[in-house]
Structure 1
Amino acid sequence: MIESLLVVVRWLRRAGLRILAPLQKNPDNAGFRLSSPETSTTTIDGDVGWGSRPPAMLRCSRCDSDVVQRHPHDDIDCPRCVAEHSHEEFTDLELQYLRCPVCGDEMEHGQRHPESIDVPEWATCHSCRYHWEFRHDF
């Protein structure tokens, strides 16, 4: 009887761990989300401001390699040819895409005022519906 009780307890423990595994904190994930992208046609969450801009994939002006700028105020250093650019030179490099901080997919991005602002003003991830805005105009 005790052995069968131990088997049941072990089974319940394994089942509980399987249920809790997706709910445990993931250090690579920006936040916990219970939403499903398939249930909505609008954005689910997002951020505003240049300081919270998603990571950018840029093209090196010297060797045409891809260079990741994880945070908007990080310097831009090419790992292939060791070209170095300050974060203020962001507009001098070709922006390939912005990477979603929630799911990691490429984001659609664009500018609303290309004649006055030469950085992306918005980006939307079509996989998880995350949205970033440079600024809001009211």
Structure 2
Amino acid sequence: MIDRIRLVVRWLGWILERIVAPLRSNPDSVGFTLSIPETGTTTIDGDVGWGSRPPALLRCSRCGSDLYHRHPYDDIDCPRCVATHSYEEFAALEFRRFRCPVCGSAMEHGNRHPNRIDVPEWATCHACRYHWEFRHSY
């Protein structure tokens, strides 16, 4: 009889541990830890508007090298040749990717209105959950 009581107590302790474990605080965690899998794609940090867009990597129209365009309103100058573009020519250059301003990773990007807007309208970093949106009227 004592062995059965010990077995039941051990079994209840195991169940209680499984219930309480997700509720414990984790000092290493930076986000919400009790989320369901569908909300795991939510972002932690982000910006809106072209003035706060992430740094971009473009292709030079003259020599084909990569151009790093940090700020959206800076001129675009090629470090390898003499090509110089105004920031207004951003859409005319071949866009390669955004670089996350928080962790430096390559960001996934896309267009919601590909036939109306020539530049990427959103970008998400899957490493740190940073998200950027292009503000515009629909």
Corresponding position of 2:75: 75
Q: Report the RMSD for the aligned CA atoms in angstroms.
A: 2.1
Alignment map for 1:101-112 (pairs within 5 Å): 101-112=101-112
Corresponding position of 2:30: 35
Corresponding position of 1:47: 47
Deviations 1:70-105 (A, max 9, x none): 000010000001210000000111111000000000
- Deviation of 1:36 after TM superposition, in Å, equals 5.2
1:90 aligns to what SS in structure 2? helix
In 2 relative to 1, CA 63–54 (structure 1 residues): closer, same or farther, beyond 3 Å? same
Corresponding position of 1:23: none
- Deviation of 1:41 after TM superposition, in Å, equals 3.1
Structure 2 residue runs without a partner (length 5+): 1-28
Rounded to whole Å, the distance in 1 between the matches of 2:43 and 2:137 is 18
2:41 aligns to what SS in structure 1? coil
Rounded to whole Å, the distance in 1 between the matches of 2:134 and 2:96 is 17
Q: Percent identity?
A: 72
> Larger Rg: 1 or 2?
2
Name the TM-score, length of structure 1 as normaliser.
0.70
Name the TM-score, length of structure 2 as normaliser.
0.70
Corresponding position of 2:10: none
In 2 relative to 1, CA 92–137 (structure 1 residues): closer, same or farther, beyond 3 Å? closer
Provide the aligned length of Structure 1 versus Structure 2: 105
- Deviation of 1:35 after TM superposition, in Å, equals 1.7
Rounded to whole Å, the distance in 2 between the matches of 1:106 and 1:37 is 23
Rounded to whole Å, the distance in 1 between the matches of 2:32 and 2:111 is 25
Corresponding position of 2:85: 85
- Deviation of 1:111 after TM superposition, in Å, equals 0.4
Do the aligned residues in 2 keep the contact of 1:37 with 1:128 (CA within 8 Å)? Answer: no
Structure 1 residue runs without a partner (length 5+): 1-33
Rounded to whole Å, the distance in 1 between the matches of 2:72 and 2:136 is 18
- Deviation of 1:108 after TM superposition, in Å, equals 0.4
Corresponding position of 2:60: 60
- Deviation of 1:137 after TM superposition, in Å, equals 6.2
Do the aligned residues in 2 keep the contact of 1:75 with 1:84 (CA within 8 Å)? Answer: yes
